[in-house]
Amino acid sequence: MEKININMQKFFARMMVLFMLVCAIGMSFSVDASAADATLLNTYGAKYGYSGTCINLYQLRDSGQLSFLKQHYNSITLENEMKPDALLGGSARLITVSDAKKRGYYIPDNYKEAYVPQINFNTVDEVMKICYQNGLKMRAHTLVWHSQTPSWFFRNNYSGNSGFVNATTMDARLEMYVKTVMNHVYTSQYGSVVYAWDVANEVIHANNSGWEAIYGNNRTNASYVKKAFAYAYDTLEYFKLTDSVKLFYNDYNTYMEVSNVIKLVNYINQGRKTCAGVGMQSHLGTGFPSVDYYTSALNSFVKAGFEVQITEMDITNKGDSDMANYAYNLYKNINTIKKNGGKITSITWWGLSDQTTWINNSKPLLFSRPGSPKQAYNKVIQAYTEVFGQPSSQPSNPQPSNPQPSNPQPSGQNINKNTTARISDGWYYLKNTLSQKYLTVEGNKVNGWTNVCISKGTGVDGQKWYVTNTQDGYITLTSKLGNYMLDIANGKDEDGANIGIYQGYGGDAQKFVVKNTNNGGIYTIGTKVSNAVRYLDVYEHKTADGTNVCQWLYYGNPNQQWQFEPVRDAQPGQGGNQQEQPQQGSGSQEQAKGLVLTTSINNWGSGYQVSYKVTNNTGSAVNSWTLKIPTDQVKIDSSWNVNVTVQGGNYVITPVNWNSHIENGQSIEFGSCGTGSIGSTIGYSFN
């Protein structure tokens, strides 16, 4: 009898284990199924009000991309098609004031000119209609910007070759433009889709603009910005929209400009609150800014009483796992601020997928292609559910956020407190101060990832480096041997990580920051992957030819110091002024193999913007194209919608994924900005 009882006990014990296992499987299935139901729309869209993405009209016309968009987003921002140059065009198309009034333009009483530039609303109208028909809302981006505003808009008679108008005339033009654009939107049957405006964009970082030429070099007390917000708010009052539509000041690197941004917004709001708050462009990288650094800025804006909309998020990274970890920590913090009462009302990812990102050769978004989520997508959803619970439910015991900095700074003497230097774009030899030897591609030839070392100056191509300043304050160094950039092996943030060259893509592993030293003309070169904690270093302080170059914790000795010698002569260190000759172009308009390029130059004296249009007249569709422009005719400090490298004295311009295919008779457009002066024509050639 005792034996039977023991067997029965074992039987019931096994059954209990089996029962618990079945229950656990069922519970796991339930959780996984619930997680699978979560989208950006029913999590972030529901909690914040708007889950957004950056888009172009051609994507909205694509039923597949539109369908995918609607699964995750309820808000769109046009990437370029609502900026001033898109509405005004490369050259002024003038109409009379009376004609403008008939078209519904707003002409203020102090507008004394006889003509008004025509504004092209065709794209905006079609986008608003698509949004209206598909239940989408829209952020209007942007009214006032120094970068993509044609120079002629600031000049006498709206002529690009004339002098700048005075401030009184520009006040009238500004009021005309702001109120005309907003009036057009809100008199449209589809205008209700627009719920927010980036009235002014990147004022803190404006340089050499028409705005500054007329109103002065202001940052935190820019009078034209305050006026623009006043004109925009007047329009909202007229249409009784002040409670439902908000006006924002939008800028990049706001985490580095917290004090100045707060000062500017407070200045705008002196006397009357017209600016709701800050649009935080968030073009981030896993190497910089750290999650804590970004979070601190977000908290500062919230505590200042501002509404915050995260407007342009993407995350440059070293791989899917790297991005996923960063995104998880970042969104845990953002969600915690929101849960604690922070007024964050929109989050916009800057692109549908990695296929259409503006960052060349990078994968900074949540989807590799529409419908294909990455690890980072799951982590962003996880960050939401851990703070707020599953969609349409409340968390029973939300866990507090405990963020870790992505790049903890070293303490004490290893912090480089020297100021950042700016090296002008161009060709240089890089000479190490200790050894008096030059940074050299080993063997002077490329074979995949290729090592760099120091060696005696001989003037070979493997010792020539093209400096390109990037928009985030770093530089890239491209070898004269081709489209290969100086690169940290595997993007590692550790002492001794090897330095070489690799196919140029401009990611964090290929970005560097130049710092001054106590000796003029002598610099240290920090790596972005280490957040400028580690610097280019000649291994073990050696001076012999062939000594390896790596990165090492900053200590600033001559072993880590470098000179930038302009490439003017056949051999480094010998003087002379024989310039390297770029290939010659062939005029301002050229047809090669049926491709036609036309350009429009907006020149404001100390800087310029070039708008390019490639038209396919080949008689059939083309799937790719390559354009060459001599570097001595145009300077490309920044560009959009293309990939740009430097080879043999030319900028080599190739398409991004979405504009490589051009149907016969169709065109694609892209642009670039540069500093300095430029002629009226640009030579170029197609390959």
pLDDT tens digits for range 26-76: 433 333 334 457 899 999 999 999 999 999 999 999 889 999 999 999 999
Backbone angle region of 482, left / alpha / beta, with phi > 0 → left and psi within -120 to 50 → alpha: left
Q: Place 17 in a pLDDT band, splitting at 50, 70 and 90.
A: very low
The C-alpha atoms of residue 675 and residue 672 are separated, in whole angstroms, by: 11
Q: Which two tokens stand for residue 380?
A: 């962003």
Around 667, how many Cα atoms within 13 Å sit in the side-chain half-sphere?
Answer: 11
pLDDT of amino acid 592 = 45
The C-alpha atoms of residue 105 and residue 124 are separated, in whole angstroms, by: 16
Q: What is the pLDDT of residues 377-426, one digit of tens each?
A: 999 999 999 999 888 633 332 322 332 323 333 434 468 888 898 888 88
Q: Place 653 in a pLDDT band, splitting at 50, 70 and 90.
A: very high
pLDDT of amino acid 282 = 94
The C-alpha atoms of residue 121 and residue 409 are separated, in whole angstroms, by: 49
The C-alpha atoms of residue 247 and residue 227 are separated, in whole angstroms, by: 13
The pLDDT of residue 23 is above 70: no
Instruction: Give the contacts of 6 (CB within 8 A, at least 6 positions apart).
Output: none
> Of 81, 212, 312, 565, which is the active-site residue?
312
The pLDDT of residue 669 is above 60: yes
| Average pLDDT value for residue range 220-245 | 94
- Rank 131-145, 483-497, 657-671 by mean pLDDT and report only the highest: 131-145
Q: What is the pLDDT of residues 438-474, one digit of tens each?
A: 999 999 888 777 899 999 988 898 999 999 888 778 9
Buried b (16+ CB within 10 A) or exposed e, 91-122: ebebbebeebeeeebbbeeebebeebbbbebe
Class of domain 41-388: alpha beta
The pLDDT of residue 121 is above 90: yes
Do 585 and 683 form a contact (C-beta atoms < 8 A)?
yes
E strand map for 174-223 = 194-201
Higher pLDDT, 603 or 266: 266
DSSP class of residue 41? I
pLDDT of amino acid 410 = 41
Q: Please give the mean pLDDT across all residues of the chain.
A: 83
The C-alpha atoms of residue 592 and residue 63 are separated, in whole angstroms, by: 34
Q: At what angle do helices 2-37 and 375-388 cross, to 10 degrees?
A: 110
DSSP letter string, 606-647: SEEEEEEEEEE-SSS-BS---EEEETTT---SEEESEEEEEE
The pLDDT of residue 20 is above 60: no
Sign of CA dihedral 644, 647, 650, 655: negative
Strand order in the sheet with 642-647: 642-647, 650-655, 627-630, 685-686
Q: What is the pLDDT of residues 244-279, one digit of tens each?
A: 999 999 999 999 999 999 999 999 999 999 999 999
Q: Among 279, 228, 275, 277, which residue's Cα sits nearest to residue 253? A: 279
DSSP class of residue 359? S
pLDDT of amino acid 31 = 34
Q: Which two tokens stand for residue 569?
A: 């002569």
Do 452 and 486 form a contact (C-beta atoms < 8 A)?
yes
pLDDT of amino acid 105 = 93
Instruction: Give the contacts of 331 (CB within 8 A, at least 6 positions apart).
Output: 379, 380, 383, 384
Q: Which residue has the tokens 């433009």?
A: 177
User: What number does CATH give the domain 590-686?
Assistant: 2.60.40.290
Q: What is the pLDDT of residues 82-101, one digit of tens each?
A: 999 999 988 889 999 999 99
Higher pLDDT, 579 or 279: 279
Mean pLDDT lowest among 90-104, 245-259, 524-538, 560-574: 560-574
Q: Place 119 in a pLDDT band, splitting at 50, 70 and 90.
A: very high
What's the 3-state SS for 391-424?
CCCCCCCCCCCCCCCCCCCCCHHHCCCCCECCCC
Q: What is the pLDDT of residues 128-177, one digit of tens each?
A: 999 999 999 999 999 999 888 998 999 999 988 889 999 999 999 999 99
Q: Is the pTM of this model over 0.95?
A: no
SS3 674: strand
Q: Among 13, 48, 179, which residue's Cα sits nearest to residue 108? A: 179
Q: Among 504, 478, 505, 500, which residue's Cα sits nearest to residue 317? A: 505
Burial (CB < 10 A; 0-12, 13-18, 19+), residue 498, is middle
Q: At what angle do helices 167-187 and 223-238 cross, to 10 degrees?
A: 30
pLDDT of amino acid 507 = 81
The pLDDT of residue 648 is above 60: yes
Task: List phi, psi (to 5°) of 69.
Answer: -55, -45
Domain boundaries, the chain: 41-388, 412-566, 590-686
pLDDT of amino acid 536 = 96
The domain defined by 412-566 carries CATH number 2.80.10.50: yes
What's the 3-state SS for 218-286?
CCCCCHHHHHHHHHHHHHHHHCCCCCCCEEEEEECCHHHCHHHHHHHHHHHCCCCCCCCEEEECCEEEC
Residue 202 appears among annotated catalytic residues: yes
Q: What is the pLDDT of residues 205-228, one digit of tens each?
A: 887 688 989 998 888 999 999 999
Instruction: Give the contacts of 497 (CB within 8 A, at least 6 positions apart).
Output: 488, 489, 490, 529, 534, 550, 551
pLDDT of amino acid 14 = 54
> Of 81, 175, 202, 565, which is the active-site residue?
202
Q: What is the pLDDT of residues 360-377, one digit of tens each?
A: 778 999 999 998 999 999
Q: Place 611 in a pLDDT band, splitting at 50, 70 and 90.
A: confident
Q: Among 405, 380, 376, 393, which residue's Cα sits nearest to residue 294? A: 405
The C-alpha atoms of residue 488 and residue 509 are separated, in whole angstroms, by: 5
Q: Among 194, 288, 658, 218, which residue's Cα sits nearest to residue 491? A: 288
Distances (CA, A) of 535 to 443, 520, 550: 23, 18, 8
pLDDT of amino acid 164 = 93
